[in-house]
Structure 1
Amino acid sequence: MRLGLWTLEHWQPPAGQPRPVLDSNLSFWTTVGSFAVPLLILAQLVLWLDRRGLPVPAFIGWSLAAWLTVAALVIEPSGFPVGVAAAGCLIVGSDRQGR
């Protein structure tokens, strides 16, 4: 069996999947498929804007807060509520810069 991500076995419920298929899913979702890379890119954008004295748009904080809130409600306990606090800081910071 090859460990491709697009096999019919991957569409079966996790309880019915063979161990190699579960391992390939885990490998994908904890590396390339995770939200770590997009969040790192977002952090770089925020730092880039800050270093140039440009305000971070409030929609970035609100969008991040909405996504993290939904994620925190879907999987408990998790570290997602910590991210909501960071999104709140982005919202407050953009409001203060806008004044």
Structure 2
Amino acid sequence: MMDKIIREIQERYTENITLSGLAEAYGISTGYLSSQLKAELGLSFSEYITSKRIQKAKELLADESLSVESIAEQTGYNDYFYFIKVFKKNTGISPSKYRKNL
């Protein structure tokens, strides 16, 4: 079952996906799912989602025809400024600086 849940997370990480929503869909407790994901992935649910989103954002930043705001939306962040904050926290630089360094 964990493989199926992880696959779903990998396919839907850009959507508004929640740990509690997944737990409910699979009929398990949120706490159990959280501990199982941490054991399988080595990261918490939110850390894993964030890492997937930031990795995708890095790939999209190579395409200069895409605005940073568009990239934020495509990676699951509805709030542009929150995306910049999360990106900077995870990479140490802003998305714009990351793009310039490519």
| Same fold per superposition (TM over 0.5) | no
TM-score range relative to shorter protein:
0.3 to 0.5
Q: TM-score normalized by structure 2? A: 0.36
State which structure, 1 or 2, has the greater radius of gyration over its C-alpha atoms. Answer: 1
